[in-house]
Amino acid sequence: MQPTVASPSGAVWRVQIDRAMWVAGVRALMLQALHPLAMQGVWQRSDFMEDPTGRLTRTADFVAATTYGSPQEAAELGRRVRAVHARLAFTDPATGRRHRVDEPELLLWVHCAEVVSYLEVVTRAGVRMNRRGADAYFAEQTRTAALVGLDPAEVPASVAQMRAYLARMRPRLAATPEAAAAVRFLLWPKAPERLKALAWLKPLWLPVGALSYYTLPDWARRAYGTLPEPPGTQAAVTAALRGVRAGLNAAPASLYLRLFDDATVERAHRARERLAAAGYDVRGGLAALTDPATWPRPQRATEAAD
């Protein structure tokens, strides 16, 4: 049995093990907020504004579970997520209608905004992936969508399908006052109590927040109009994004892991143990994992003598 949900040689692993995912995760929240109904669900039923980093770390744990967690861990987390969603409902102020947060349309938007943000930001930050790899990424992510209650057959499974879905959604998206407030908040969120010792590092969040905003699609940035964009901004954003990724990759693991909840850190330790037992070389960590299937085949003595 595969020791982790995603294959270490697969597209999901290549994207989601990368430390640029911190920028991608914030960008995903900004993109998700453009769906007025989905934003109302967050606005009314989430603790996002009180504990934004808590929302991010919970998302990080879900990403961890669906990347290098065991199949059992991912299934259990999926059950918990579905149970929480099933209990939550909110009111659309435009129509007065009640909605559940686990309505398929809303779940699909949240999923697609997440995975497209992950792929676009991480590849822009420097992870190389061709069109075939991008198609594989979206196809592999249909399994993740199933964990939150979506029918995998209804989830975009290729670049072309994802582009078609986003094009269909564009007329329904808008920067509502709640969405604009969420974006402003994400540019400078509150730090949780558990990170108070690292409060002196908070100014480092500014480039993360700004890059998350500037990596949004052109139409999304025009809808928000939150930050100025003089000529040359996008070229500078690409360079800065690669610099931030390099800085995150250079951070010692002992410091970097403090960004995560204890449960996520423990999940990573268990993944390393399972992968080591399966024959993988984990001495460089999960990001530098090497697959035994790719190792050179040892020569037999007769071959070496030829």
Read off the pLDDT of residues 29-69 as tens digits, 9 standing for 90 and up. Answer: 999 999 999 999 999 988 777 776 677 788 899 999 999 99
Q: Which residue has the higher pLDDT, 294 or 265?
A: 265
Q: Which residue has the higher pLDDT, 121 or 197?
A: 121
Q: Which residue has the higher pLDDT, 191 or 59?
A: 59
Q: Which of 49, 48, 59 is nearest to 22 (CA)?
A: 59
| Stretch 223-240: mean pLDDT | 97
* In-domain check, residue 213: yes
| Stretch 220-224: mean pLDDT | 98
**Is the CB of residue 147 less than 8 Å from the CB of residue 81?**
yes
Rounded CA-CA distance 284/99 in Å is 46
| Stretch 272-281: mean pLDDT | 91
* In-domain check, residue 54: yes
Give the pLDDT of residue 193: 57
Rounded CA-CA distance 17/34 in Å is 27
* In-domain check, residue 292: no
With a CB cutoff of 8 Å and minimum separation 6, the contacts of 280 are 8, 289, 290, 291, 292
121: pLDDT strictly greater than 90: yes
* In-domain check, residue 277: no
Query: Among 79-88, 154-163, 198-207, 262-271, which stretch is predicted with the lowest mean pLDDT?
Result: 198-207
* In-domain check, residue 215: yes
CA 192 to chain centroid? 20
* In-domain check, residue 35: yes
104: pLDDT strictly greater than 60: yes
* In-domain check, residue 212: yes
Q: How many domains does the chain have?
A: 1
| Stretch 141-165: mean pLDDT | 98
116: containing domain: 11-266
Query: Among 101-110, 159-168, 286-295, which stretch is predicted with the lowest mean pLDDT?
Result: 286-295
